[in-house]
Amino acid sequence: MPTTSSQRIDIKQNYSSINRFAPLVLAWFDEHGRHDLPWQQHKTNSPDAYKVWISEVMLQQTQVVTVIPYFKRFIQSFPTVDDLANASWDKVAEHWAGLGYYARARNLHKGAKQLVAIIKKTGHYPKTVAEWEQISGVGRSTAGAIVAMGLHDYGVICDGNVKRVLTRWAGIENDITKSATTKQLWALAEALTPKNASGNFAQAMMDIGATVCNRTKPACLVNDKPCPIQADCIAFKQNKQRDLPFKAKKKHKPSKHSYALVINNPQDKSLWLKRPKNGIWGGLWCLPLKFIHKLQGKKIIEKANSDKVYEKELTTAEQIIDQFLQNNTITIKMDTETKQLKHTLTHFHWHITTCNITLNQQQQNKLNNLLADAHINFCWLDITEAQKQLALPAVISKIFS
């Protein structure tokens, strides 16, 4: 274990409590930790870094229970890094649809190609944290997890779960979102991580954060599960579990509003567009969207297709469709079955209202020609066909559930 002193990392714990931290955590993991996750490698002498890499990217901002079925299906279709690198983006997107934060899937696909090139040159996966950080979408904590759990070498993690555990245990009251606090937590994580068992330690810390020292109901407040570090925990001693970690009040998230246009042809099939690779839902299939400022009941208060805040969301295809509807005086129909959904993204809330448009054959042919001339990737499918054949964002699938 590194010999960093409590004074250098500026926490309220003494050296003896730092020294016994890892043994307590590892003993807890042996008895209470999760040992049956499909990507875990701690029971083998020949760890598979590929599975750990895939799981760590999937687990970014997503809970374990959600990730498990996606991981199993992903590994079944792409069992090796070569399989993933050689797969089409459409196939990768199809396996990611519904998991959210789609930039992760694009990074995985790009990262697979980078890894294949590295393996071809060196004969092995990257071996160090610094080398893994060069792979698309892999940050410091993810790299540490891959090295520790996927290579059985020394690696340190400091993800959201770990930060919460350390903040409470060490009584760190500074804003956890600030860079100075992040540096302090990383220094503490490095001081606590044992050299010879960093993989089990990393998994144990994630398990404690997820199952014992969780965000809203830590076990020490409900007498639910044993916490191995409770005796030394500053937050527990001072009854500050609910106060830590401290985060300054977030800025208000803006809201955006749009219609999801269910444009049906005479055969009762709907129009689907493949969104550009860059931007929201990149590379996935979606109903055409029509952005508006706000809805009052079912009435548009103010149009916003030309508003700069929406320009980056409005695709070429949707501009063509909007102009087509205006030129042909085709009205948007909102009936009693109209659904309004709220979809929260990183930087804004998205309010989506469905509406129906029915085209005759002549109108469909005209719209087909306009989209084809602009090299737009589109198709006409009913919802059952679309859900089986296309990679759809989860919120779009909810419209028809």
Q: Where are the domains of the chain?
A: 6-237, 255-399
279 vs 272, more confident: 272
Query: Which of these ranges, 241-250, 261-270, 289-298, has the smallest mean pLDDT?
Result: 289-298
Catalytic residue among 56, 131, 311, 318: 56
What does the angle CA 72 – CA 95 – CA 68 come to, to the nearest 5 degrees?
30
317 within 8 A of 374, measured Cβ to Cβ: yes
Confidence of residue 337 (pLDDT cuts 50, 70, 90): low
354 within 8 A of 262, measured Cβ to Cβ: yes
Joined together, the tokens standing for residue 361 give 């054959």
The pTM of this model reads 0.80
Confidence of residue 3 (pLDDT cuts 50, 70, 90): very low
Joined together, the tokens standing for residue 288 give 């055409």
Confidence of residue 147 (pLDDT cuts 50, 70, 90): very high
CA dihedral 372, 378, 382, 386 (to 10 degrees): 160
Of 231, 239, 241, 236, residue with least CA distance to 17? 231
Joined together, the tokens standing for residue 159 give 């993800």
- How buried is residue 47: exposed, middle or buried, by Cβ count under 10 Å (0-12/13-18/19+)? buried
Number of C-beta neighbours around residue 2 at 10 A: 13
Buried b (16+ CB within 10 A) or exposed e, 334-358: beeeeeeeebeeeeeebbbbbbebe
* 6-237: CATH superfamily: Hypothetical protein; domain 2 (1.10.340.30)
Q: Please confirm, yes or no, whether 173 is among the known catalytic residues.
A: no
User: Could you tell me how far CA 368 lies from the centroid of its own chain?
Assistant: 35
Interacting residues of 66 by C-beta distance below 8 A, sequence separation 6+: 99
Q: Is 333 helix (H, G, I), strand (E, B) or coil?
A: strand
276 within 8 A of 385, measured Cβ to Cβ: no
255-399: CATH topology: Nucleoside Triphosphate Pyrophosphohydrolase (3.90.79)
CA 344, 345, 350, 353 dihedral sign is negative
Query: Which of these ranges, 103-112, 127-136, 335-344, has the smallest mean pLDDT?
Result: 335-344
Measure the CA–CA gap between 139 and 137, rounded to whole angstroms.
6
